[in-house]
Amino acid sequence: MPPFYGELAALATAVCWTCSSLAFSAAGRRIGSLSLNLIRLVIAFLYISAYCRIRRGSWLPTDASPEAWRLLMISGLIGFVLGDLCLFKAFLLLGPRLSMLIMSLAPPIAAGLGWVVLGERIGLMGGVGMVVTLGGVAWVVLERQAGPEGAQKTTANEFAKGATLAFLGAVGQSVGLVLSKIGMQSYDPFAATQIRILAGIVGFAAIFFAVRWWGRTLQGLRDTKGMAFAALGAFAGPFVGVSLSLLAIQHTETGVAATIMATVPVLIIPAVVLLHKERVSARAALGAVVAVSGVALLVLR
């Protein structure tokens, strides 16, 4: 493998997740966040099945061990169903920039889980990195309370709910990452992602039967523009992005990969400025830099 193979995969993941967060935010407003969660996984499953058929000669990951299936299925349920369900709802309440800023808490959470589950030592530098990260995120989040009245697009209750959901999304992503690393080991990361996506489809299908959501989902399928955004997000996110994230943790330390993937908040700021003409304050930009600098300290511990 070339030098920094895992780090480059993690950086590519961050770029993919920046694109997918913007696409899913637009799609969710048209077809609904709950319907979108299942639709984008089904689309991503079609993408990755075709890819695996071409690259591996098999439509399904039948060569995975039972232990890999078990852990990756659990990882998919936690990461895609619990974590992403919370995150997608947060996108609708907060927008992609603030949601992903709160998601920068995922690396220190992952580092803590790695210490408990995998025996990875954090050390003083890692602790400092967590504090700096939390400080950067809090700095941006508190801007909603300190900003001018006209800049507020959500109520205080909606903002608190969105911030909580984004945090739960960070927890789900962290748990899913650790379980994926344990279950995948040296297995193909795209095939491993296929198992995780399959688990997500099963999980959301069960939810849809429980809450009788199929009618609204079928209605969302008729929204051509919403489906176009969903297809773009599914390609950049669950298919390419998630697969690259597993490739990254396979070839570098979990903390290093998670830190690089946490650069999404920085990448998303110029994106929303260019695409949505959103005005970004100096405080928000500084908070993004501080948050990402904090998680970078985890690499140096």
Q: pLDDT by residue for the chain (301 residues), tens digit each? A: 666 788 889 889 989 988 998 898 899 889 988 899 899 999 999 999 999 999 999 999 999 999 999 999 999 999 889 987 888 788 778 876 678 778 778 888 887 888 788 777 767 777 787 788 778 877 776 665 444 333 345 678 888 898 899 999 889 888 999 999 999 989 999 999 999 999 999 999 999 999 999 998 999 999 999 999 999 999 999 999 999 999 998 888 777 788 778 877 777 777 777 776 777 778 778 887 888 887 777 666 5
Number of H helices, E strands in the chain: 16, 0
Q: Read out DSSP for 27-80?
A: HHHHH-HHHHHHHHHHHHHHHHHHHHHHHHS-SS-TTS-HHHHHHHHHHHIIII
Token representation of residue 176? 């899913």
Backbone angles phi, psi at 122, to 5 degrees: -90, -50
Q: Could you give the angle at the alpha carbon of 238 between the alpha carbons of 237 and 240, nearest 5°?
A: 70
Angstrom distances, CA of residue 33 to CA of 24, 26, 29, 75, 97: 9, 10, 7, 21, 17
Structure confidence at residue 65 (pLDDT): 95
- Alpha carbons 54 and 241: distance in angstroms, whole number: 19
Query: Which residues 6+ apart lie within 8 Å of 157 measured at CB?
Result: none
